Amino acid sequence: MIEVDIQKVIDENSVAVWFQPIISVQRQSIQIIEALARGIDPSSGEIIYPKELFAAAEEAGCRGKLERLCLENTLRNFSKLQQKMPKMILSINIGNPLIHYMDCADWLPKLTESYNINPNRIILEVLESAIAEVDTYRQFLQHNREKGFLLALDDVGSQYSGLIRMSEIKPDLIKIDRKLISGLHKEKWRMEVVRALTGLAHRTGALVVAEGVEEIEEALECLALDVDFQQGFLYSRAHSFESGTDPNCQKAYELIANKFRSHSDEILRRRHMHLSKNSISVDEIREVLEKVSYADMEAALYWLTEKYQNLQFIYLLNENGITITDTVGRTEQLTEQKRYIFHPAKKGENLSLKEYYLWLKSGNDSYVSDAYISSATGAECITHSCRFRSADGLSCICCLDVSLEEIKSEFSFID
């Protein structure tokens, strides 16, 4: 480990700035570059990595001064790069020490102007875990947003306060932490958290960056989850960009694009075959049930679950939303542990607040829900409901819970 003479590093401006590309695989191009500072030992020429560099500055009480130096070097280098890559966007990390060191409200706009850089080309990354004084940060960010800078929330998902910070900062981008991206393709929970964060970001007007992408499978899953940008060693390590972009970066994102395209074609083909084989015909089910009297209804429900393999459950309601049969279907995926919290509705239960009942109650003839977690099994499903009249004249509502687990597995990048 290098013993850092931080004062000498600062005095001799012995700080190099490298850039790591942030990729849009959909557009097959580098859209953003993130600036990453490295110290250079003035005596030996060895690289001083950020952890040691900034720890030494913190201990010496000059971190704000060091961060100002890093920022100036970043803007100087980016100003030169813009001549070759005029559409490139720069992402820089802004922390508390720098904000406190620079006590003038307009220091950042003035600094970027001095290097002839448009603020619209700069993203200010705010580290979620480093926001100690929220009011100070909020004022700084709001002021600079008004000046044209873009805002990003970094390391989302690594701290407990991420959603709170999102609502406070209202970022233009969120960067999902490497801890969630690592092994993304292997674990459904990670996939669903990333899916939820991506959906939340998109609905609130933000784009999403996946940080630390190192495996092809992680990259493919990010694409499948509609993540906008990817960053990580799979594409490129940080480098100076003096001789242009890393040629291996283009090879990597073209490889991922081709794999995703070919794999998606195969998945869609398999999914179409699966749906053709196991599709639910509500009209056909209604036709069967209309020929059966109420006394024989449960036997008919059992027959239907055998006929349709992805029909998880089927049950009947009366006009008041009360179940008039037990729920018939497959309970094998319910573990002993889950049986007390997730369980199918029994005969006589009141389901009159369910959307699939209320929709029909308002005069519609049939209904299909969005995907949701079934209270019967804890698995993802959709519900079809329709009106029908039994052979002996009883007005009923048929509810069909269709499992999405098997269908979704046909459209997953998990092997």
Structural contact between residues 310 and 304, judged by C-beta atoms closer than 8 angstroms: no
CATH of the domain at 35: 3.20.20.450
Identify whether 272 is part of a domain.
no
Which residue type sits at 55?
A: A
H or E element in which residue 107 lies: helix 107-114
Number of domains in the chain: 2
- Tell me, yes or no, whether 258 lies in a domain: yes
Q: Yes or no: say if 123 and 153 are a contact pair by the CB < 8 Å rule.
A: no
Q: Which of 44-53, 362-371, 398-407 has the lowest mean pLDDT?
A: 398-407
For residue 139, pLDDT beyond 60: yes
Choose one of 216, 246, 267: the last residue of a domain: 267
Contact in structure between 184 and 152 (CB atoms under 8 Å) = no
Residue 343 lies in a domain: yes
Alpha helices in 279-397 (DSSP H): 282-289, 297-307, 355-361
> At 383, which CATH number?
3.30.450.20
Is 111 found in the same domain as 235? Answer: yes
What pTM did the predictor assign?
0.75
pLDDT single digits (tens) 65-86: 999 999 999 999 999 999 889 9
- Does the structure show a pLDDT above 80 at 409? no
Domain with 305, as residue range(s), is 279-409
Which candidate, 190, 265, 268, places its Cα nearest to that of 225? 190
Give the mean pLDDT of 37-61.
Answer: 91
Percent share of the chain, pLDDT over 90 = 53
Same domain, yes or no: 63 and 212: yes
Q: Which of 267, 291, 322 is the C-terminal boundary of a domain?
A: 267
User: Which range has the worst mean pLDDT, 200-209, 252-261, 270-279, 306-315?
Assistant: 270-279
* Amino acid, res. 76: R
